[in-house]
Chain A
């Protein structure tokens, strides 16, 4: 989303599709899902892949609200969707990168592993959905902020082959 004839807002670059700021209010999740769905469609992801991306972002935001902010409303969350370009020619879009930032409690590494699916009980499925749906899932913490980086390639096999060959 580039402004014509002016400088880009801070934090944007030419590959930023959209940047959202929201509060930790579950009622706002539908707005983010709609936005991420359109961003994925712009990059020509198939319907099932778009649903997977939307599901991942929604589950990640729900985790931020429930665990990082412990259900407290009105806390800040930033969502950035970026086009990922081919490292070979720097032009061809090859995927979507979504960055989520929050100022909540540091994530517990033990809880980032998910749970075995053979246990039939409520809860603990969100992280499983994210890991099943995205090609890259990375957690980090810097300057009091949690960052979750999600990446999905349009053609994951090509990138797997490339990384194996490197």
Chain B
């Protein structure tokens, strides 16, 4: 898994690629919580277009990020979900809990 951060209009966009599994989800969790809880960035976007695989530990990291964003009054926004990620979100029945957009443009405009 690779995770790279970009800044735009006071928000952070994380571009994630590869597999978010038991070995790598702690890295994503740390990055997310760092932006949300420590830096208190008002909007954190997660670009999941290049994610081939996400497991339940990855989903748990996203849920933790979502809860942290609600606690501090910020937003965690997902976009570009691959088929594999979309399937897992549906299996978890979490697709309605998260803010999810197809493209970066739509996510930024939200």
Is B22 touching A62 in the complex (CB atoms < 8 A)?
yes
The answer, yes or no, to whether A123 is at the interface (CB within 8 Å) is yes
Question: For B21, what are the chain A residues with a Cβ–Cβ distance below 8 Å?
Answer: 26, 29-30, 33, 58, 62
Tally B residues with Cβ within 8 Å of A.
22
With the chains together, A128 CA to B97 CA distance in Å?
A: 18
The answer, yes or no, to whether A8 is at the interface (CB within 8 Å) is no
The answer, yes or no, to whether A48 is at the interface (CB within 8 Å) is yes
The answer, yes or no, to whether B104 is at the interface (CB within 8 Å) is no
Please tell me which one of the listed residues B57, B88, B97 contacts residue A62 in the complex, with CB atoms under 8 A apart.
Answer: B57
Is A51 touching B84 in the complex (CB atoms < 8 A)?
yes
With the chains together, A27 CA to B93 CA distance in Å?
A: 28
Tally A residues with Cβ within 8 Å of B.
27
The answer, yes or no, to whether A12 is at the interface (CB within 8 Å) is no
Name the distance in Å between A16's Cβ and chain B's nearest Cβ. Answer: 26
Please tell me which one of the listed residues A29, A51, A125, A133 contacts residue B92 in the complex, with CB atoms under 8 A apart.
Answer: A125
Of the 9-residue stretches B41-49, B58-66, B73-81, which lies at the interface with chain A? Answer: B58-66
Q: Assuming A30-B23, A62-B55, A133-B91, what are 4 further A-B pairs, CB within 8 angstroms? A: A29-B22, A33-B19, A120-B97, A123-B56
